[in-house]
Amino acid sequence: MNDAFDFLVRKDITFLNFGSFGSCPKEIFSFYQKKQLELESQPVSFIVEDGINQLNNARKTLASYVHCQPDDLVYVTNPSYAINTIAKSLRLKKGDEVLSTQLEYGALIRAWNYYCEKKGASFIQQRIPLPFSTSDEVVAAFFKGCSDKTKAIYISHITSATALILPVEQICEEAKKRGLITIVDGAHAPAQINLNLNNLNVDIYTGACHKWMMAPKGASFLFVSKAHQNWIDPLLISWGYQSDNPSNSLFIDYHQTAGTRDFSAFLTVPFCIDFMRRNNWEDVSDKNKKNTIDWALRLMNRFNIEPISPISPSFLGQMFAIPIYTPDCVGLKQRLWHQFNIEIPVTQLDKRNFIRFSIQAFNDWEDYIALENALQALEKSGFLKF
């Protein structure tokens, strides 16, 4: 671990889990605290006026960063909030289906199951074969799950446990040809990959800013294309409904107002975008991506493992999932933390397990060595198999 960009994360550990919740550089966190102080020093004018103006500007800046219209995007606290909003509102009849994959994020599988069950619909988790070799294979496998009952598709742009960049452009294009609503969970996408919502044929998209954009926790967004804004109810009805002071967008009025809350994290997002611009973040990210591929290739060779996808920039960003077998994910994770000082997630999917490493600017070669040594020791003592 090194001090590059002054991230707040501890440097006396091996932190290989930036993917779960990110971590702020000190400069970004200080800006966030300044916003919180601003709020507390005059809460009334901040919450009712100044802050709202800043929020509208912060929304415009983020919209320009992800390439969409400012009135098609609203800040929400997290991707779960965004997907709950959508799944609850989606007009599904008894027997309808939402097509998805087995690779989705657990909390949101639960959300979809909950709302589909309530409506008598089904959430279909179509199996994507692992390993796969091409994006065409993924697309073909996915649409095998499509039927005349399918109304919408829901997929991750970058999967959680398996850290795969899915071919969402191809999938959305095909889904639109079939007349389906396209919903993408891009929690991991902003700033891990170049996100251009204009180029994606996507109706609904959520992304987290508190992961790879390095914003403080609780900054995410929900994008909805104009054609779909009219059927989406706010998760929380507040002053934006029948607003006394309407803007020119019902979508923004409905979803931007959510009772009293600290929206300082949202206001920090433009600062994060500026931080990335000032620090040539595309170069930083490219270096991290190169290291991800390098580490992945070394580990696959070192332990003779078959990866679940080609080790290539088409499928990998700054995270990689090492396929392993363990009888005890929780125990293994604790062992990695307590015995080896390594923060890294261990997950289960389809009777297989994955250890997912993330690479951020503060990670270096020493971290790779620490991980390789720990895996070797744990294999030797029987806690995991490859």
Ligand X SMILES: Cc1ncc(COP(=O)(O)O)c(C=O)c1O
Shortest Å distance, C-beta 77 to ligand X: 8
Considering the complex, state which of residue 218 and residue 234 has its C-beta at the smaller distance from ligand X: 218
Cis peptide before 131 (omega within 30 of 0): yes
* Residue 89 within binding range of ligand X, rule CB under 6 A: no
Measured from the CB atom, the residue of 20 and 113 that comes closer to ligand X is 20
User: Which of 35, 188, 228, 356 lies at the binding interface for ligand X (CB under 6 A)?
Assistant: 188
Do 94 and 151 contact (CB within 8 A), yes or no?
no
- Count of chain residues binding ligand X (CB under 6 A): 12
Question: Residue 321 forms beta bridges with which residues?
Answer: 356
Q: Which stretch binds ligand X (CB under 6 A): 58-66, 100-108, 119-127, 340-348?
A: 100-108
Please name the helix (run of DSSP H) or strand (run of DSSP E) that holds residue 207, with its range, or none: strand 204-208
Number of Cβ within a 10 Å radius of residue 235: 17
Taking contact as CB under 6 A, which single stretch among the options 48-56, 104-112, 166-174, 290-298 is the one that binds ligand X? 104-112
* Whether 372 contacts 13, CB under 8 Å: no
For residue 212, state whether it binds ligand X (rule: CB under 6 A).
no
- Sole window of 9-17, 184-192, 328-336, 339-347 interacting with ligand X (rule: CB under 6 A): 184-192
Question: What is the number of alpha carbons within 13 Å of residue 199 lying toward its C-beta?
Answer: 9
Q: 121 or 187, CB closer to ligand X?
A: 187
Applying CB under 6 A, does 105 fall inside the site for ligand X? yes
Rg, the chain, Cα only? 21
Helix (H) or strand (E) holding 98: strand 97-101
By C-alpha distance, which of 214, 325, 247, 289 is closest to 71? 247
What are the backbone angles phi and psi of residue 25, rounded to the nearest 5°? -65, 150
Among candidate residues 364, 321, 322, the one with its CA nearest the CA of residue 14: 364
Among 4, 20, 126, 151, binds ligand X (CB under 6 A): 20
Q: Does 107 bind ligand X (CB under 6 A)?
A: yes
Residue 165 per-residue DSSP state? B
In the complex, what is the shortest distance from the CB of residue 308 to ligand X, in angstroms, rounded to a whole number? 16
Does 114 sit near ligand X (CB under 6 A)?
no
Residue 325, beta-bridge partner list: 385
The length of the chain, given as a count of residues: 386
Contact between 78 and ligand X by CB under 6 A: the answer reads: yes
100 belongs to the binding site for ligand X (CB under 6 A)? no
CA pair distance 161, 255, nearest whole angstrom: 30
Residue 84 interacts with ligand X (CB under 6 A): yes or no: no
CB of 78 to ligand X, least distance (A): 3
Say if CB 185 and CB 78 are below 8 A apart: no
CB 342 to ligand X: min, Å: 18
Apex CA 186: angle with CA 22 and CA 104, to 5°?
Answer: 95
| Binder of ligand X out of 14, 17, 23, 80 (CB under 6 A) | 80
Which tokens belong to 278?
């000032």
Q: Tokens 């790779």, residue?
A: 368
What whole-number distance in Å separates Cα of residue 49 and Cα of residue 45?
5
Give yes or no for residue 174 binding ligand X (CB under 6 A).
no
Binding pattern for the stretch 134-173 against ligand X, x by CB under 6 A and - elsewhere = ----------------------x---x-------------
Q: Is 79 one of the binding residues for ligand X (CB under 6 A)?
A: yes
Rounded CA separation 292/237 (Å): 43
Rounded least distance, CB 176 to ligand X, Å: 22
Least distance from C-beta 185 to ligand X, angstroms? 5
Among 98, 172, 187, 299, binds ligand X (CB under 6 A): 187
Binding residue for ligand X, selected from 185, 203, 253, 367, defined by CB under 6 A: 185
Q: Judged by CB under 6 A, does residue 358 bind ligand X?
A: no
| Residues making contact with ligand X (CB under 6 A) | 20, 78-80, 105, 107-108, 156, 160, 185, 187-188
